[in-house]
Amino acid sequence: MRIHALPTQLVNQIAAGEVVERPASVVKELVENCFDAGATQIQIDIEQGGVRQIKIRDNGCGIVKDDLALALSRHATSKIASLDDLEHVISMGFRGEALPSISSVARLTLISRAADADCAWQVSADGSEQNFDPQPDPHPAGTTVDVCDLFYNTPARRKFLKAEKTEFSHIENLIQKLALARFDVGFLLNHNQREVLNLKPAATQEAQEKRIAAICGSAFIENCVKIDYAASGLHLHGWVGLPTFSRSQQDMQFFYVNGRLIKDRLVAHAVKQAYQDVLYHGRHSVFVLYLQLDPALVDVNAHPTKLEVRFREGRMVHDFLFQALHRSLAEQRPGQPAQHIEMVTEFSDLAEPETPSRTALNQQTSLPLSLPESGFDRAEPRSAASGLSYRQPPERVNMGEVAEQIKAYAKLYPQTASAPVSSQTEQAMPPLGFALAHIHNIYILAETANGIILVDAHAAHERVTYERLKQHYHNRAIVSQPLLLPIKLHVTAAEADLAEQEHEFFMGLGFELNRSGPETVVLRATPALLLKADVDQLVRDILADMLSHGFSQKAQETSNAILATMACHSSVRAKRKLSIDEMNALLRDMEQTERIGQCNHGRPTWVSLSHQDLDRFFMRGQ
């Protein structure tokens, strides 16, 4: 066939195939237009899951009469005018395809009134971009888009839609996500003339947390930490869940870049790294996070639905996110409020918290008593370094050091072993209190100023030992050990090129890696800690990561896994009877240890019961 131009309506229907997958896709495009119009109140009326009708009204700036026809034409927009505008785009939409694409697969009516107009004007469209005849309408200031009979003229597309309940659930989930993006906007969602969601604008942090609780559940707010970090032109703020509050699915992870909801592998990897040794296996973290950065540093035009973005400085963004989340989780210690850092100028400064902020744990510093679902059992934890072999067992904990610690704590708390705990004043009582008994030679029972706590001695000691091992290992820098017999690795040409170019980078990690041929590298030295690990596979993994992502965390992950196993073997074992002094020494160590809420395998280390909990159990005062 000869080359020919496609009809306008067919072109729009092809474009609709990229952005209009289901009714929720239409809602997303239209609500984002409401955001760009400056709306503070949006009403969404849905009939039959959106197939019969989607009607969205806002109180935004409106569209003047002469621009209505252009609004229904492809590649027509008020949001950008040049390439420079595109590279610095801050609006949700900018392509000018949504309305004509939707009108090509549905019956669309557009009614709009500008703030200074005498009346509103109404037009209808069928995707042909012709025969527009604006008619006056009594509509108030703002815009209404009425979309009826979705896919009426493309029956093949309509067959792919699910049941009414399923399609509406997609719309409801979408509105919830968009409501978390814009706290300054009110949302009213109706389905078949029944109110489903009614969210008022939230100007204060308390109101914002109420909106989050309405969407994510009150348990999220009760078990999260408010964070606020800034560095190198990047600003991250929002709420992250404690490791003990996790999910079996990734259904409570909301990440926004400059107000836009995104799904990004780089972001997901940074979050996973931050939770790597505090989250129970098979569980997923929860968070509502907002990243603000220069629009020129992020490309939002990377995907037709704009759900994916590209960062110009991906490594910097990854490291920033990791540092911010890693420190916010590390600083959650017993008796200390949540920490946040404001206006940090260098990444290295992120390790030093400055200003305490309010914790979102109902003013409690303990972990929740009810464990999430059935993920936390008392079975033997899986090794964090599975797949790594050792020729000799790791050394046991230095009992001489433990004895010195006990003596030091005895001087600080001379009445610990001899006097009843109740005789201690609340002012002198440390956050985790004083030990009373070692139950079943496994759990430490301690009395605190607010009630009692139970501590899994092995899990707690494991975390204390692990954090010390990590600190000692990294403070000595990375010690490199020459190999008696160099290891020759056959790799791809691209990986060999990378190994040659990044020779200094590998030396910094403790690897001496030299190229010996077009597709061959030779490993002559490795970090001393990793001598008994599968170093050739580790090097291959690092090269693959660097080719794919531009950076790699494999070396650190492997060293941490070995240290975690060493900590597990060096920690006090179950069934070993502990003295009062030993138990108090462990409690004091816990108060000074980062990430003490979980052991290296993600199991909780302690739980608490307040006076109110105890009174409720025994019906005191009722």
| pLDDT tens, position by position, 223-266 | 888 999 998 899 999 999 988 788 888 889 999 999 999 888 88
Whole-number Å distance between alpha carbons of 186 and 277: 39
Whole-number Å distance between alpha carbons of 283 and 247: 6
Same domain, 271 and 344: yes
Task: Give domain status of residue 504, yes or no.
Answer: yes
Please, are residues 596 and 436 in contact by the beta-carbon 8 Å criterion?
no
Whole-model pTM?
A: 0.67
> Between the CA atoms of 229, 234, 237 and 243, what dihedral angle is there, to the nearest 10 degrees?
-70
Cβ neighbors of 439 (< 8 A, separation 6 or more) are 445, 454
Same domain, 211 and 346: yes
Q: Which tokens belong to 262?
A: 């995104």
Same domain, 217 and 80: no
Task: Give domain status of residue 362, yes or no.
Answer: no
Whole-number Å distance between alpha carbons of 383 and 511: 25
Same domain, 234 and 177: no
Question: For the chain, what is the total number of helices (H) and then of strands (E)?
Answer: 19, 24
Task: Give domain status of residue 23, yes or no.
Answer: yes
C-alpha count within 13 angstroms, C-beta hemisphere, residue 116: 0
Task: Give domain status of residue 1, yes or no.
Answer: no
- Closest-CA residue to 364 (of 620, 588, 609, 615): 609
Whole-number Å distance between alpha carbons of 597 and 612: 22
CA distances from 579 to 1, 91, 307 (A): 90, 64, 57
CATH of the domain at 275: 3.30.230.10
Local structure of 578: helix, strand or coil: coil
Please, are residues 258 and 309 in contact by the beta-carbon 8 Å criterion?
no
Same domain, 210 and 228: yes
Whole-number Å distance between alpha carbons of 143 and 43: 11
| 317-345 residue pLDDT tens | 999 999 899 888 877 667 554 433 333 33
Same domain, 73 and 156: yes
> HEC states along 28-40?
HHHHHHHHHCCCC
Residue 334 CB neighbour total at 10 angstroms: 22
User: What pLDDT shows up at residue 321?
Assistant: 93
Domain end marker among 153, 178, 199 = 199
Query: Across the strands, what pairs with 439?
Result: 443
Helix, strand, coil share (%) of the chain residues, nearest 5: 35, 20, 40
C-alpha count within 13 angstroms, C-beta hemisphere, residue 443: 14
CA 309 to chain centre: 16
CA 347 to chain centre: 19
Main-chain dihedrals φ then ψ at residue 132, nearest 5 degrees: -80, 125
Task: Give domain status of residue 382, yes or no.
Answer: no
CATH of the domain at 18: 3.30.565.10
Cβ neighbors of 1 (< 8 A, separation 6 or more) are none
Whole-number Å distance between alpha carbons of 385 and 533: 10
Local structure of 384: helix, strand or coil: coil
CATH of the domain at 608: 3.30.1540.20
- Range list of β-strands (E), 440-479: 443-447, 451-456
User: What pLDDT shows up at residue 455?
Assistant: 93
The secondary structure of 313-371 as a DSSP string is THHHHHHHHHHHHHHHHHT--TT---EE--S--SGGGGGS--EE---BSTT--SPPSSP
Same domain, 577 and 558: no
Same domain, 431 and 498: no
Please, are residues 285 and 279 in contact by the beta-carbon 8 Å criterion?
yes
Please, are residues 274 and 326 in contact by the beta-carbon 8 Å criterion?
yes
In 385-456, where does DSSP find H-type helix? Answer: 399-412
Task: Give domain status of residue 502, yes or no.
Answer: yes
**Which stretches in the chain have pLDDT values below 50?**
337-399, 402-403, 405-407, 409-427
Q: Which tokens belong to 109?
A: 């009516």
Q: Which amino acid is residue 508, in one-letter code?
A: G
Task: Give domain status of residue 371, yes or no.
Answer: no
User: What pLDDT shows up at residue 208?
Assistant: 95
Query: Across the strands, what pairs with 43?
Result: 57, 188
Pairing of strands 194-199, 186-191: antiparallel
Whole-number Å distance between alpha carbons of 235 and 321: 10
**Domain count within the chain:** 4
Radius of gyration of the chain (CA): 30
Same domain, 521 and 561: yes
Domain end marker among 132, 164, 199 = 199
Same domain, 12 and 158: yes
User: What pLDDT shows up at residue 574?
Assistant: 65
Query: Across the strands, what pairs with 569?
Result: none
CATH of the domain at 521: 3.30.1370.100
Domain end marker among 301, 326, 356 = 356
Same domain, 128 and 63: yes
Task: Give domain status of residue 238, yes or no.
Answer: yes
Same domain, 126 and 43: yes
The helix (run of H) or strand (run of E) holding residue 373 is: none
Which structural domain, as residue segments, surrounds residue 612? 399-471+573-617
